[in-house]
Amino acid sequence: MAFIDAHRRRFGVEPICAVLTEHGVGIAPSTYYAARSRPPSARAVRDAQLRPMIARAHRANYDAYGAAKVWDHLNRVEGVRVARCTVERLMAQMGLAGARRGRKPRTTTPGSGEETPEDLVNRDFAAPAPNRLWLADLTWVPTRSGWVYMAFVIDAYSRRVLGWQASRSLRTDLALDALDMAISARRRRGHDISTVTHHSDRGSQYLSIRYSQRLDDNDIVASVGSKGDSYDNAMIESFNGLFKWELIYPRGPWQGQSDVEFATLEYIDWYNHRRSHSQLLPGRYTYTTPADHETAYYHNTTATPAVAQQKQPLPNPG
């Protein structure tokens, strides 16, 4: 049909059909005219309606979603009932695909402290509730004015980003500011963070005296992975990859720190409240957001966000 459409003005429909039939591609002129006068099928009409919806959902989520998450977004967020196979077919036709992650260089500078916390996590990131396990790590962003370094703190239960910070240097203040943001975010909501285990790599920022003191001041237990093994902090390494492949790489090049900070602020809001995650709930193609996952935990249990209690002084034995 497309071949006849392309050449009919030059050769005419009947001669083209005759030549095609001679070469084993039989089609009668009446068949061609009937097909051209036939109204679009229900599937074609539906496809035409869905294409702009799919493009909008893909674009609204940092062009990061593959077919499964676009399907979930349309059904769960927008209330558009559509089969996953239909979304897969149309995205393939439209040339749309999700972000694909690659490898990144290591940036950790090992600390030199003799007394290093033990690894209390042992690669088991399955936290039973919010504020049981926080993960911290650093990553980098190339800009036209030099490297910008990023520090993040996430909650392992919901994968929610609790704190982050950007800096032009890898000094302890970078990681410490992200930790302070995480502490402030939880305390502002009345959470008790004395149940938290804080896990990081052996970077000098996380083993510094100031950082260790801040953890101790807030009754947070420190845990550190083994030397030179990124798998010991794999969950937040995975987040760093998402951050790079969903925001940094496709939207670069970046001018400098202020551009990265503004974009990260918007990205974290989307990541926490609107980005679909497939690893938080059991079952295939079951999605939720970090914020909704935490809300559901407190709604479905008798627990409420524990309010920090003032420590009572020990009784005087005298």
The residue with tokens 């393939």 is 92
Instruction: Give the tokens for residue 33.
Output: 């005219």
In Å, what is the CA distance from 209 to each residue of 89, 112, 182, 217? Answer: 55, 11, 19, 12
> Quick check: 294 and 89 in contact, CB under 8 A?
no
Instruction: Give the tokens for residue 279.
Output: 């690893």
pTM, rounded to two decimals: 0.73
> Quick check: 154 and 133 in contact, CB under 8 A?
no
DSSP label at residue 134? E
DSSP label at residue 74? I
Question: What is residue 311's predicted lDDT score, i.e. its pLDDT?
Answer: 41
One digit per residue, the tens of pLDDT, for the chain of length 318 reads: 888 888 888 889 899 999 988 888 888 988 888 888 888 788 888 999 999 999 999 999 988 899 999 999 999 999 999 999 999 999 988 888 887 765 444 445 555 455 678 888 888 898 999 999 999 999 999 999 889 999 999 999 999 999 999 999 888 899 999 999 999 999 999 999 999 999 998 888 999 999 999 999 999 999 998 765 667 788 999 999 999 999 999 998 999 999 999 999 999 999 999 999 988 888 777 899 999 999 999 888 865 555 544 444 444 443
Parallel, antiparallel or unpaired: strands 146-155 and 133-143: antiparallel
Alpha-carbon Rg for the chain in angstroms? 27
Sequence-separated (6 or more) residues with CB below 8 Å from residue 125: 133, 135, 156, 234, 235
Strands (E), 123-279: 133-143, 146-155, 160-167, 197-200, 221-224
Question: What's the full length of the chain, in residues?
Answer: 318
Question: What is residue 304's predicted lDDT score, i.e. its pLDDT?
Answer: 55
Question: What is residue 110's predicted lDDT score, i.e. its pLDDT?
Answer: 53
Question: What is residue 318's predicted lDDT score, i.e. its pLDDT?
Answer: 37
Question: What is residue 132's predicted lDDT score, i.e. its pLDDT?
Answer: 96
Sequence-separated (6 or more) residues with CB below 8 Å from residue 134: 153, 154, 155, 156, 162, 182, 196, 197, 198, 199, 220
Three-state secondary structure call for residue 105 = coil
Question: What is residue 236's predicted lDDT score, i.e. its pLDDT?
Answer: 93
Sequence-separated (6 or more) residues with CB below 8 Å from residue 67: 84, 87, 88, 91, 98
Report how far residue 125's alpha carbon sits from residue 105's, in angstroms, rounded to the nearest whole number: 23
The residue with tokens 């936290």 is 127
Q: Which of 238, 291, 246 is nearest to 269 (CA)?
A: 291
Main-chain dihedrals φ then ψ at residue 170, nearest 5 degrees: -100, 30
Burial 190-228 (b: 16+ CB within 10 A, else e): ebebeebbbbbbbbbbbbbeebbebbeebebbbbbbeee
Report how far residue 227's alpha carbon sits from residue 245's, in angstroms, rounded to the nearest whole number: 26
